[in-house]
Amino acid sequence: MEELKVPNHVAIIMDGNGRWAQNRGKKRTFGHQKGADTLKKISEYVYDKNIKVLSVFAFSTENWKRDKEEVDFLMNLFLKAFNKNFESVKKKGVKVIFSGLKTKLSDKVLDAMDKMSEETKDNKNGIFNICINYGGQDEIAEAAKKICTDVVDGKIKTSDINTSMFNKYLFNDLPPIDLLIRTSGEYRISNFMLYQMAYAEMYFTDVLWPDFDENEMDKAIESFNKRDRRYGGVKKK
């Protein structure tokens, strides 16, 4: 059997928690609880598969529109997860980083994020990028702002600007996304990692995030293996 190629950077839009709970006559928050368990399981699995970078969409800049009860529940869930769920990822020697705006998040959440990043900053076995209060357009606009400041301050010249240096001004200097997975049957990007997704292979599944498991992850990787990545070129026969 031919050996499977594993994508270097996998990004996941973890969607469908609310519907999963509502299908069971439960509150949406019950789905988020289950979704957190799924993330724990999948984050462990991914690094065992030798995938080096995992980015997950945990909370978008648009998610503040939801009821306070749901937002508060999610913030508490993040706190719990940072303090407990991701111990296993830390043990695997994975570096945890965060992408997103620091505005609107409570000091408690920000402190927990800082602690996680600090504790894992020298880890070399993989990168776990958690996107909280994240918007792809914000990330690009913020990078443009920082570049302008550096030009005005004389640190760089306008002619220094190119796609790879632009990448360094994003929330984190990450490699391009190879495989983007979105659960729950929605076929959109919802303002997720726009810059990094330029040549990502897309994988959409109807499975709701709380039901996503190792087997579903394998299916996504198998699908990735069937793709012919041409990057605009022509494949030689």
Dist CA 206 CA 146 (whole Å): 39
Q: Does residue number 139 form part of the binding site for Mg ion (CB under 5 A)?
A: no
Q: Does residue number 205 form part of the binding site for Mg ion (CB under 5 A)?
A: no
Nearest approach, Cβ of residue 13 and ligand IPE (Å)? 5
Q: Which two tokens stand for residue 216?
A: 């579903």
Burial degree of 150 (CB within 10 A; 0-12, 13-18, 19+): middle
Nearest approach, Cβ of residue 57 and ligand IPE (Å)? 4
CB-wise, 15 or 216, nearer to Mg ion?
A: 15
The answer to whether 133 touches 61, Cβ cutoff 8 Å, is yes
CB-wise, 74 or 113, nearer to ligand IPE?
A: 74
Dist CA 75 CA 81 (whole Å): 10
The residue ranges that bind ligand IPE (CB under 6 A) are: 13-19, 57-60, 62-63, 74, 184, 186, 188, 190
Dist CA 202 CA 119 (whole Å): 33
Catalytic residues: 15, 63
Partner touching 57 among Mg ion, ligand IPE, none, CB below 5 to 8 Å by kind? ligand IPE
The answer to whether 16 touches 208, Cβ cutoff 8 Å, is yes
Q: Does residue number 74 form part of the binding site for Mg ion (CB under 5 A)?
A: no
Nearest approach, Cβ of residue 34 and ligand IPE (Å)? 10
Nearest approach, Cβ of residue 78 and Mg ion (Å)? 17
C-alpha closest to that of 202 among 12, 6, 17: 12
Q: Does residue number 15 form part of the binding site for Mg ion (CB under 5 A)?
A: yes
Q: Which residue has the tokens 């702002």?
A: 145
Partner touching 80 among Mg ion, ligand IPE, none, CB below 5 to 8 Å by kind? none
Give the interface with Mg ion as residue ranges (CB under 5 A).
Answer: 15
